[in-house]
Amino acid sequence: MGLAHETGPRHAACGCSLCAADDAAADRPYQATHLSRRSLLATGTAAAIGAAFGIGRLRPAMAQTTLSPDAALAQMMDGNKRFVAKQLTSFNEDLDILKQNTVAKQEPFAAVLSCADSRVPVELVFDQSIGHLFVTRVAGNVASTEMIASLEYGAAVLGTRAILVLGHSNCGAVKATIEGKAVPGQISALYAPLRAAVDAAGSDLASAIKANAQVQARLLAHASPVLGGLIKEGKLKIAAGYYDLASGGVSLLD
């Protein structure tokens, strides 16, 4: 199966470490390799996603970054350390250049499934700028069908190498599920996907929030053949994390 090769550097130099592309590697012709059945599935899925979004030239299920899955996650955690230390570097990057480089395409190195809570500014928390993170947000950071589809697009088409499911302290969605009180409108629709974590962790809010992040991370890895296939091929890592509103620190959960 022939795949179009894009020549030239993968990233324009904007001064950040993520944009230091290997120009020589980028200029080499794409070498066709034998595709396993699972690789073909991922390739076909990525092509279908690309067609649906009107994207013509794709290199599906291939990383757009030189980072490994572990390095991508480490890059995020290093950024969080800078955030906690109030030593952000992303603000020093030239936003005009970043905007120009991301008008036609995006090449995020990692994705985040975050709660919609306004106190969790994902890019700031990880000290990342425009085009670096593919962020999906929904109350309770639940892996709904729409969230899974979005993260599949990020991994299979855009080449994200890590997905972090990020819970946070004092999450209102988890708290409401624990209390189980009547709520207006469709808010109660959030209870069902959060119930497994609450049942496992009990009424302790922090424990339930952490359990929920882990439950949703496992769901992403096992409910999606696309994401699961990329994990088995060593092209993707999915992890769960907990963001402390008071300290600003993110801890990875086992």
- In whole angstroms, give the CA distance from residue 106 to residue 99: 10
A 10 A CB-CB count for 109 gives 26
pLDDT, greater one: 199 or 22: 199
Q: pLDDT (tens digit, 9 = 90+) per residue, 87-122? A: 999 988 888 888 888 898 999 999 999 999 999 999
- Structural domains of the chain in order of their starting residue, each with its CATH number: 17-253 (3.40.1050.10)
Which pTM was predicted?
0.77
- pLDDT exceeds 60 at position 53: no
Q: pLDDT (tens digit, 9 = 90+) per residue, 140-185? A: 999 999 999 999 999 999 999 999 999 999 999 999 999 999 999 9
pLDDT, greater one: 30 or 211: 211
- pLDDT exceeds 70 at position 62: no
pLDDT of res. 38? 42
- In whole angstroms, give the CA distance from residue 254 to residue 218: 11
What separation in angstroms does the CA of 241 have from each of 23, 111, 121?
34, 13, 15
pLDDT of res. 15? 40
209 φ/ψ sector (left φ>0, alpha ψ -120 to 50, else beta)? alpha
Q: pLDDT (tens digit, 9 = 90+) per residue, 113-145? A: 999 999 999 999 999 999 999 999 999 999 999
Q: What share of the chain is helix, strand, coil (3-state, %, to 5)?
A: 50, 10, 40
